[in-house]
Structure 1
Amino acid sequence: MSDSSCFRLQLTVFALVSASFTNIYITQPVLPVLQTEFGADMVTVSFTVSAVILGIALSNLPFGILADRLPIKPIILTGGVLVALNGIICAITHNLWILIGARFLQGVFLPALTTCLAAYLAKTIPDSRLTVVMGSYVSATVLGGMGGRLLGGWIHPPLHWRYAFVSAAALILVATFTALRTLPATETGRGRQQETTGFAALLKRREILLIYFCASGSFAIFSSVFNYLPFRLSTEPFHFSTQSTTMLYLVYIMGIFMGPTAGKISNRFGSGNTLIAGSILLGISLLLILLPSVPAVVTALLGICAGFFTVHAAAVGSLNRKLTSGQGRANALYVLFYYMGGWLGITGAGFAYKHGGWSFVVYICLVLLLIPLSAGMGERKMNNAQEASAHTGCT
């Protein structure tokens, strides 16, 4: 693959993944608005976010199998059209449970545009570029996540959140049909594997299972903090409006830079050290966000984004470097663990916030931090063992 064709592929995938992730978090900054409009409690309206995440988690394994067996274009067309269609349903319904159901269906078909593309990249991009390209993929998820939040709570006025779904549907359709025109019809570079690795075989590999748990724990922390941030900032001592709270989601820009940067750091210092560094930064930031100060909250959110996306990019890159086949299944399992962690985090943190307040949510996140930290230590130990074995072999 030439440099120019690789760059065009990256741009196409970046646009499609960004548009896909725009759909996930549209309602997050307007959860208090939905609570008032539908007359529902905090936990119920949070389902408009967690239902998408649950849908993604449940459909990843089937789409992972499809990614290893079918051409990419039919999968993209199906996913893009159905995500957009359910977005329009979200925009016109006045029933909260129909809204939640349509959000769930959006989640079901989003892996056609994300998990399958990750597998496509793993098969198409040379090993020497894979970690950095996966970092760019992570950056696309960051831009989309930030864009969805801005659509729902700032670009469109909060009381007109329905228009955000229409805008997101238009974006996903444009990105889908652009990808259909520009992506190669068949994978090149590595080519399709004649034999593929099954789900059970992947889960039996301890080094891969560590990465999966790392994804689950880190995203549980990240999703818990950002999902209940609007409720925290609407109370004393902040009293932020929805638009002011939404502006804080601009800290996501940090993730756009940290994705590729973390890939380069991981290449130089090892994925284990990178995971540990990201986990430590996450922990410091979680302690800082407990302070009742706007500068402390902003600084903490920047640190949480930097730490989380360092962990995420290093984990994705480490996973794909370990694979010689079954990229679709392996990435599907990664996203399954990742989003199940997010769903459990949002759901559990909702009850924690309801009964114990913001500090209780943060304390739970600090406990969950032991998962990515342990994964980093395990990864470093395995890397050191491999280096020692290679050194012994050479001598």
Structure 2
Amino acid sequence: MRFTHLLICSVFIFFVLYAPQPLLGLFAEQFSVLPATAGSLMTATMLPLAIAPLVYGLLLANREPLLILKIAMLVLALSCILFANAPSFELLLLIRFLQGLTLPAALTAMTSYIGTTYQADLLQKNMTLYIGSTIVGGYFGRVLAALFSDLFTWQSFYYLIAAGLLLLALCITKQRQPVSITAPQSPLMYLKQLKDPLVLKLYGAIFCMFFCFAALLNYLPFILRDTFLITNTRDIGLVYSGYLMGALASIATPWLLKKAPSPWQLLTAVFVFYCGTIVLLMSQQLALFLIAFTGFCAAMFVIHSSAAPLVNKISSAPASVTNGGYVSFYYSGGALGSLLPGLVYQQHGQTAFLATLLLVCSAGLILVYLAGKKTTLG
């Protein structure tokens, strides 16, 4: 399989995950539900994403990742067609939950394929390119969903996603060289290999990072509506353009890693910046809010682009299990972030909502700082 094909598959898979986000306000009106209830469309997908990846990582340790990827993409294509024709909000939630069970198979398959096919600098480069593709998929998934909703119908974009997934899945071919398989062990033996304190601190920091990111992007349509009086889905989609800066920032990550004394020090510095952008997001001025939002997105993706290859380097567990654990912690943060801060927002408003994110982000900063301090002393 060509690596460019894998990257395009990644883009369409992330279309599935993030397309509903700019439409949450529309769904809230169409189905007469509250913001936090509408936000549960993201929680319904991220909750199984938080639990399933580690299980899938164990399964993929003895199976061909590309076959799993192909099957997952076919299932996602079917789910998109069902989602576009769902008559009730409850059915939308059910389909999103089923997508959440399927998505981690695809994500873990892709990261496992990269982790087992490439080594050293090429691993860093291709993992960074993969993360860049997730950024592109997340950005265009949101923007195109909003644009299609404004120009046509929101369902039309889902038909486009389904067609793309189907064609890409049918073009996946077997690996020319088999993946080296680790001798079978019990699941408990695999999980014990993830008990390294450095790995767990990094996982915890990733949890905090994505908790904040999922929360802000999930409730961004409501903040734009309530604070800045922006209600048009196309305009909301354009605000997500700050997200695209993350792609540029993540591409610069290898250069930043070379300049930094260690990956841990880079992560610490970027987490400090991440916290700073959350403070600036409390502004009631749209221009400052948009600048802070752009910096917030860029910081998140530098952290993600640094942490994903770092965990593969420091973990002694098989690549599929290591990446399964990473994805699990990542989306555990997303699942909670897409729901709990929304309750704070409904009751207490934007400032309390962002203060909650700042508290969680500070916890992530402490974790990477302690991990970096331990590696320096050790």
| Alignment TM-score, normalising by the size of structure 1 | 0.90
Deviation at 1:75, TM superposition (A): 0.6
The answer for the alignment partner of 1:194 in structure 2 is: 183
Q: Deviations over 1:239-276 (max 9, x none)?
A: 34221111011122112122232233224422111111
Distance 1:104 1:185 in 2: 34
Q: Which residue does the alignment assign to 1:91?
A: 84
Q: Look up the match of 1:166.
A: 159
- The whole-number CA distance in structure 1 between the counterparts of 2:268 and 2:353 is 22
Assess if the C-alpha contact under 8 Å between 2:66 and 2:109 holds in 1: no
CA–CA distance in structure 2, aligned partners of residues 378 and 216 of structure 1: 16
Q: CA deviation at 1:120?
A: 1.4
Deviation at 1:28, TM superposition (A): 0.9
Tell me whether 1:299 sits opposite 2:291 in the alignment.
yes
Instruction: For 2:105 and 2:204, locate their aligned partners in 1 and report how far apart those are by CA, in whole Å.
Output: 23
Structure 2 residue identity aligned to 1:171: G
Task: Report what 2:213 is aligned to.
Answer: 222
Of 58, 62, 79, which residue of structure 1 is paired with 2:55? 62
* Runs of 4+, deviation exceeding 4 Å: none
Alignment of 1:171-190 (within 5 A): 171-178=164-171, 180-181=172-173, 184-187=175-178
Give deviations 1:328-365, integer Å, cap 9, x for gaps. 11111111111011111111011011101111110001
| Kept after mapping to 2: 8 A contact 1:33/1:158 | no
Whether the 8 Å contact between 2:148 and 2:156 is mirrored in structure 1 is no
Cα 1:374–1:187, aligned 2, differ >3 Å: closer, same or farther? Answer: farther
2:19, 2:35 → 1: CA distance?
16
Which of 4, 16, 22 is the equivalent residue of 1:11? 4
Alignment of 1:122-133 (within 5 A): 122-133=115-126
Q: 1:202 to 1:266 in 2, by over 3 A?
A: farther
Shift of 1:172: 1.8
- Give me the identity figure in percent: 23
**TM-score (norm: length of structure 2):** 0.94
Q: Which residue of 2 aligns with 1:287?
A: 279
Q: Identify the residue that residue 391 of structure 1 maps to in structure 2.
A: none
Contact 2:149 2:233 in 1 (8 A): no
Per-residue CA shift, 1:276-332, capped at 9, x if unaligned? 121111111111111111211110111001111111111111101113541111111
Instruction: Structure 1: give runs of 5+ residues left out of the alignment.
Output: 1-7, 387-395
State the match for 1:210 in structure 2.
201
CA deviations over 1:7-66 (Å, ceiling 9, x no partner):
x74312211111111101111111111111111121211111111111222221221112
Structure 2 residue corresponding to 1:259, chosen from 245, 250, 257? 250
* SS at 1:113 equivalent: helix
Gaps in structure 2 of 5+ consecutive residues: none
Q: In the alignment, is residue 43 of structure 1 matched against residue 33 of structure 2?
A: no
Question: How many angstroms does 1:202 deviate by?
Answer: 3.1
Q: How many residues align?
A: 375
Distance 1:381 1:334, change over 3 A: same
SS where residue 40 of structure 1 aligns? coil
Greater shift, 193-202 or 221-230, is seen at: 193-202
RMSD: 1.9
Instruction: Tell me the residue number matched to 1:4.
Output: none
